[in-house]
Structure 1
Amino acid sequence: MAWQTYDPTIEDAYRKQLIVDDRMCFVEVIDTAGQEEYATLRDQWVREGQGFILVYSIASRATFERLEVFRQAMLKVKRQKPVFMLVGNKRDKQYEREVSTAEGAAKAREFNCQFLETSAKTSENVEHLFKTLVRLLRATKQQEQGVQGPIRSPEKEKKGRKCIIM
């Protein structure tokens, strides 16, 4: 699957249809790039979102050190426990690396989430990232339904097959 051409953004939204484990889903990705001017909108998006990708640049220790601030902000807004993935981006810049893979993996263990390194520029692991997150969201939903029973009627379930990922 070819994701959109690499385009470094300040804030953007993407919608993508993809097949994960022979099941179609629609993914809506809202990329705030951590900008403070989107803080009010971010709270609304967090309330509506189901899965969250915490991204840092492997070439910038400062972005890695700000992860906890963003995670805590999301935990404050989200009513139920959100699904997170930690992503070290810019894997194509190995020569500029400031954050080791081991440090990223350790932070993911601290956050109790999955970890992956990607390159948005070369698309390395990007498809894998979204498929993994969709699988995590599906597993979480199945667990919730197993404990609490069906959340929605079958009619609403068919209409509502969309993941919102930040």
Structure 2
Amino acid sequence: MALSFSRECHIVVLGAAQFVHNQWIESYDPTIEDSYRTQVSVDGRQIVLEILDTAGTEQFVAMRDLYMKTGQGFLLVFSITSPSSLSELTMLRDEIIRVKDDENTPIVIVGNKADLEDQRAVSRSKAFALSQRWNAPYYEASARTRTNVDEVFIDLCRQMLRREDTDPAFEVDDKMPSHHHSSSNRRVRRRRRESGHRCVIL
């Protein structure tokens, strides 16, 4: 019977509005701004998600290059009620590719606020065309009703695991910007899971 290793994935959410609500998360550390932890199963592998939701926070801009450099996968979120929020994703993706020098960085595009269909200002076809151009999955989701929230994280994890399994150059580590994680917390987490594989999704 094959062993199922626990892997740690650090996810950063970028875009128009805060996407993760901590009622979905098993544990929440109020000393780490907009940071959440939970565990999911992806194709039989247990994955520990550590999610940094930077979407909608102006403070993130100064740290953007650092988060992008240390990340390995990204959730790009826009609101289906805001065409300008979709346009902003192009700038974010261009910057990710510039910082990482990798056209194939794992990305999932999320059209948030799917519960506001009567206020829709971005057509599904326009968002889907963008996702095809970038070769990235597209989901319509609602943080308020939790629609498709689990699915977007699982899809992103699956992309990362596939890259890790097939591309030796796709190295994994668990470095996060130091102002979000104290060194003592990180040392504890490393000891706790020192036998597991780690993948970083920022």
Q: Which residue number corresponds to residue 39 of structure 2?
A: 17
More displaced stretch, 118-127 vs 12-21 = 12-21
The answer as to 2:67 corresponding to 1:74 is no
What CA RMSD, in Å, does the superposition of the two structures yield over aligned residues?
2.4
- Distance in 1 (CA, whole Å) between partners of 2:97 and 2:54 is 17
Deviations 1:62-113 (A, max 9, x none): 1011111111111111144411111100000000000011111101011121
How far apart are the structure 2 equivalents of 1:20 and 1:159? 15
Separation of aligned partners in 1, 2:197 and 2:165: 15
Aligned counterpart, 1:158: 195
Distance in 2 of aligned mates of 1:151 and 1:37:
28
- 8 Å CA contact 1:25, 1:162 repeated in 2: no
State the Cα deviation string for residues 31-73 of structure 1 (Å, max 9, x = none).
Answer: 2115443223221111111110111000111101111111111
Match of 2:61 among 39, 44, 51: 39
TM-score, with length taken from structure 1: 0.81
Instruction: Note the 1:5-154 alignment, pairs <5 A.
Output: 5=23, 12-80=34-102, 81-145=104-168
Shift in CA distance, 45/61, structure 1 to aligned 2, threshold 3 Å: same
Return the alpha-carbon distance in structure 2 between the equivalents of residues 48 and 157 of structure 1: 20
Instruction: Classify 1:105/1:157 alpha carbon distance in 2 versus 1 (closer, same or farther; 3 Å).
Output: farther
CA change 1:60–1:17 in 2 (3 A) is same
Q: Are the equivalent residues in 2 in contact too, given 1:57–1:63 (CA < 8 A)?
A: yes
Question: What SS does the corresponding residue of 1:86 show, helix, strand or coil?
Answer: strand
Q: State whether residues 22 and 36 of structure 2, in contact with CA within 8 Å, keep that contact through their aligned partners in structure 1.
A: no
Report the count of equivalent residues. Answer: 153
129-138 or 13-22: bigger deviation:
13-22
TM-score, normalization: structure 2? 0.68
Structure 1 or 2: larger helix share? 1
